C-alpha cells in the first residue's frame, strides 16, 4: 500500500510518463493489491487549483475526481481528528504547508510510504518516500 502525493495523483491520471520508473512500479504494485491511498486533502488541493485557474481539465473537476473514486483499487482517506492532530505534531522539522502536513500525517498514521517528487517531503526523515 502507498499514499499518493497530490501531484503524483495528477500525473498518474493525466501524464503518467512524468512519473519516475520507481513511482510507476510502486503504483502498479499497489494497484494490484488494491492499495492506492489518496488523502481527501489532495481533493481539496486539486479543487482549489482549478478554482484559481492554475489547473484545467477537459471535464468538470468533480467528474475527474469521481473517475478516480470509481477505481476499485483506490481508497480516499478523510482528514479525521487523528490525522489533523498528527499534522500539527509531526516529529522533527517539517515545513508549514498545511496540505503537505496533512498528507504526510496520513502516510504516518497508516504506516505507509508516500509517492512524491517533492524534495521537502523526500528529505523528511520520519516518512518513507518513493520517487
pLDDT given for residue 91 in this prediction? 95
pLDDT given for residue 68 in this prediction? 96
What domains sit in the chain, N to C, each tagged with a CATH number?
A: 2-130 (3.40.50.1010)
Name residues of the chain where pLDDT drops below 70.
none
Residue 100 near residue 3, CB atoms below 8 Å: no
pLDDT given for residue 122 in this prediction? 97
- Classified as helix, coil or strand, 115 is strand
pLDDT given for residue 81 in this prediction? 98
Comparing CA positions, the residue from 1, 3, 2, 28 lying closest to residue 79 is 3
pLDDT given for residue 60 in this prediction? 97
pLDDT given for residue 39 in this prediction? 98
Amino acid at each position: 500500500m502507498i499514499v499518493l502525493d497530490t501531484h503524483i495523483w495528477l500525473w498518474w491520471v493525466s501524464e503518467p510518463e512524468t512519473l519516475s520508473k520507481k513511482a510507476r512500479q510502486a503504483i502498479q504494485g499497489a494497484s494490484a493489491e488494491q492499495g492506492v491511498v489518496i488523502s481527501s486533502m489532495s481533493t481539496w488541493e486539486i479543487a482549489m487549483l482549478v478554482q484559481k485557474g492554475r489547473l484545467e481539465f477537459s471535464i468538470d473537476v468533480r467528474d475527474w475526481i469521481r473517475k478516480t473514486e470509481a477505481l476499485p483499487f483506490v481508497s480516499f482517506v478523510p482528514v479525521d481528528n487523528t490525522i489533523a492532530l498528527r499534522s500539527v505534531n509531526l516529529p522533527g522539522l517539517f515545513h508549514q504547508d498545511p496540505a503537505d502536513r496533512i498528507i504526510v500525517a496520513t502516510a504516518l498514521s497508516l504506516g505507509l510510504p508516500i509517492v512524491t517528487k517533492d524534495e521537502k517531503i523526500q528529505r523528511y526523515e520520519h516518512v518513507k518516500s518513493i520517487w
